[in-house]
Amino acid sequence: VSTITLTTDFGTGDWFVGTLKGVILGINPRATIVDITHEIPPGDIRGGAFALAASFRFFPAGTIHVAVVDPGVGSRRKAIGVQTANYFFVGPDNGVLSWALAKEKVNEVRALENKEYFLHPVSRTFHGRDIFAPVAAHLSRAVRMRKFGTMLKEFLRLPCPEPRRRKDGRIEGEVIYVDRFGNAITNIDASILADVKNASGKVLVGGKCICSTGGFYDSVARGKPVAVLGSSGFLEISINGGSAAKRFGLRPGTSVVVHL
């Protein structure tokens, strides 16, 4: 039993995602296909990279993760397949895989070149269907990595904004993702915060303290803000029963300072 996940900016309003699944099932009728999300904003490579990095490790070992946010489709950007200690990753070499790969031991990177494993004719606008889906399906049937193309030494890595500890001891980071609930997820992670669960920290945005740290959303009254160590392992600014992003105007890139 092989699982293939899909993370794309295709949306679910058209037939694109269904088509990918048809191609996969034509090659491996026993594949289990799981949607991570198809609502990455069109062309938002960082959004796709973050969604994949936040979710890939919850899948069983051997899972094949396909990510297609591919504004450069048809141009000379490479298509790659990557084998890590635990998973396979398939997608364009534009950085969309790189934040997940940064957390894994990378064993082998291959350019996807062998047309034998593509859907024909290969279009110039839909490599999700014609290259990435069929390659993933063949991987799920245990085709070896070396069959797909040349070994590569490198792949494109997106810069990942790192939080930093200032001289005054405060931690400075930024919002990296806003989720459906309006929680503003920052790049400030558990390791740098160490004991945020217990410490009474203050969170500052634009120089103003907007909330304290807490254990969970409902640890404050309804409508009140709190910063919790969220399920992805990052500090997130939330409002119990509301949208912190809307209330405080938070979006990816907004600077956040934590004062423990």
Q: Where does this chain bind a copy of itself (CB under 8 A)?
A: 1, 3, 5, 7, 10-19, 21-23, 25-26, 29-30, 32-39, 42-43, 51-52, 54-55, 58-60, 63, 71-75, 123-126, 129-130, 179-181, 215-219, 228-231, 240-241
Provide the minimum distance between the beta carbon of 232 and a copy of itself in the complex, in angstroms, as a whole number: 9
Provide the minimum distance between the beta carbon of 124 and a copy of itself in the complex, in angstroms, as a whole number: 4
- Alpha-carbon torsion 13, 14, 20, 23, what sign? positive
206 vs 215 by CB, closer to a copy of itself:
215
15 vs 206 by CB, closer to a copy of itself:
15
CB–CB of 192/163 below 8 Å?
Answer: yes
Q: For 209, what's the count of Cα atoms within 13 Å in the CB-facing half-sphere?
A: 9
2 vs 83 by CB, closer to a copy of itself:
2
Provide the minimum distance between the beta carbon of 153 and a copy of itself in the complex, in angstroms, as a whole number: 25
CB–CB of 246/232 below 8 Å?
Answer: no
Provide the minimum distance between the beta carbon of 239 and a copy of itself in the complex, in angstroms, as a whole number: 11
36 vs 258 by CB, closer to a copy of itself:
36
- Alpha-carbon torsion 210, 212, 216, 221, what sign? negative
End-to-end CA distance of the chain: give it in Å, rounded. Answer: 47
71 vs 249 by CB, closer to a copy of itself:
71
Dist. CA 32–CA 137, nearest whole Å: 10
Provide the minimum distance between the beta carbon of 97 and a copy of itself in the complex, in angstroms, as a whole number: 15
170 vs 242 by CB, closer to a copy of itself:
242
Provide the minimum distance between the beta carbon of 167 and a copy of itself in the complex, in angstroms, as a whole number: 32
